[in-house]
């Protein structure tokens, strides 16, 4: 997707597949302006290629997309959830705050992306901790441990997602930062776009600082990446039974 890249995450556990965010879907790839709108496309710099959708990449890996039983969403912005419709049988896991924001009529969301009425599991209680941060256990009925990490501000219920496979943690920060350079440069120019897109600007900055702190203290104990940075995971990178794409 051009300058506005989107990293999703695929977890394979035996025959079961778990998708972390769903990215741009087949419908957006075929009719981008109709599905997303010209303004959003121009702001983000999206370019569309059907072969880069989650479902096509799963097929390319020789896996069956019908085995995607669960999709965990950092938030419900259009570029993160367009692909949900490509997996209509999957249960979708997201924070309750985010779903409430989606239902509020905020124009950043596209209601048609949930028009297939997915089975939703909503999370509102911080019932555990992860490296000192409040966290919410995601009920997947799998050996893989997945946690929602509240990082609000970009949207009302935006969360990072922590995944533990083979005793190794992966921290997907979603849109808490757009570029990894923001971890070191607090005055990075991308901050202007992030500010424009944030529902709560101050809360977004606090969440970004939280990400800086946890990575600063524990970054050597985890893999970490965001959704949009084109320098991260340029090629498929397996870690245990986790596949980045």
Q: Which CATH number do you get for residue 138?
A: 3.60.15.10
Residue 36's pLDDT band, with cuts at 50, 70 and 90, is confident
1 domain-assigned = no
Token code pair at residue 49: 């290629």
- 54-100 per-position pLDDT tens digit: 999 999 999 999 999 999 999 999 999 999 999 999 999 999 999 99
Residue 3's pLDDT is what? 53
User: How confident is the model at residue 244, as a pLDDT?
Assistant: 41
DSSP state of 45: T
The gap from C-alpha 216 to its chain's centroid, in whole angstroms, comes to 22
Q: d(Cα 8, Cα 172) in Å, to the nearest integer?
A: 9
* Residue 136 forms part of a structural domain: yes
Whose CA is closest to 119, among 80, 89, 96? Answer: 89
H or E, element range at 130: strand 128-130
Q: With DSSP H G I counted as helix, E B as strand and the rest as coil, what are the percentages for the chain, rounded to 5?
A: 35, 25, 40
Q: Which residues pair with 130 in a beta bridge?
A: 133
Residues 199, 75 contacting (CB under 8 angstroms): no
Identify whether 221 is part of a domain: yes
> The pTM is what?
0.92
Count: domains in the chain = 1
Q: The tokens of 166 are what?
A: 């083979």
- Whether residue 92 contacts residue 119, with contact meaning beta carbons closer than 8 Å, is answered with yes
pLDDT of residue 243: 42
At which residue do the structure tokens 């946690």 appear? Answer: 147
- pLDDT at residue 41 in the model: 79
In the block, which residue shows the tokens 């101050």?
202
Flag whether 4 is in a domain. Answer: no
- Which range of 25-39, 161-175, 220-234 scores highest in mean pLDDT? It is 161-175
Q: Compute how many other C-beta atoms are within 10 angstroms of the C-beta atom of residue 205.
A: 16
First to last CA, the chain: 12
Q: In the predicted model, is pLDDT for residue 215 greater than 90?
A: yes
Q: Is residue 73 part of a domain?
A: yes
Spell out a b/e string for 3-32, using b for 16 or more CB atoms within 10 Å of the CB, else e. ebbbbbbbbbbeebbbbbbbbbbbbbbeeb
Which domain, by its residues, includes 70?
9-244
* pLDDT value for 5: 80
Within a domain: residue 126?
Answer: yes
């Amino acid at each position: 997707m051009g300058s506005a890249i989107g990293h999703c995450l695929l977890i394979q556990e035996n025959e079961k597949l778990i998708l972390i965010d769903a990215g741009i879907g087949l419908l957006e790839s075929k009719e981008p302006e109709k599905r997303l709108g010209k303004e959003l496309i121009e702001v983000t710099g999206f370019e569309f290629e059907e072969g880069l959708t989650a479902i096509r990449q799963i097929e390319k890996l020789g896996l069956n997309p019908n085995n995607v039983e669960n999709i965990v969403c950092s938030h419900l912005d259009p570029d993160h959830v367009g692909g949900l419709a490509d997996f209509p049988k999957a249960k979708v896991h997201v924070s309750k705050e985010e779903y409430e924001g989606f239902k509020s009529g905020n124009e950043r969301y596209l209601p048609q992306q949930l028009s297939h009425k997915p089975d939703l599991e909503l999370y509102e209680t911080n019932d555990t901790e992860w490296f000192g941060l409040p966290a919410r256990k995601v009920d997947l009925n799998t050996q893989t441990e997945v946690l929602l990490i509240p990082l609000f501000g970009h949207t009302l219920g935006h969360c990072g997602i922590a995944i533990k496979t083979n005793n190794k943690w992966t921290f997907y920060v979603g849109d808490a930062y757009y570029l990894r350079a923001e971890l070191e440069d607090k005055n990075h120019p991308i901050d202007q776009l992030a500010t424009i897109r944030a529902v709560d600007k101050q809360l977004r900055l606090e969440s970004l600082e939280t990400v800086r702190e946890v990575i600063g203290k524990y970054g050597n104990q985890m893999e970490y990446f965001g959704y949009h940075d084109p320098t991260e995971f340029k090629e498929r990178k397996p870690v245990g039974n986790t596949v980045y794409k």
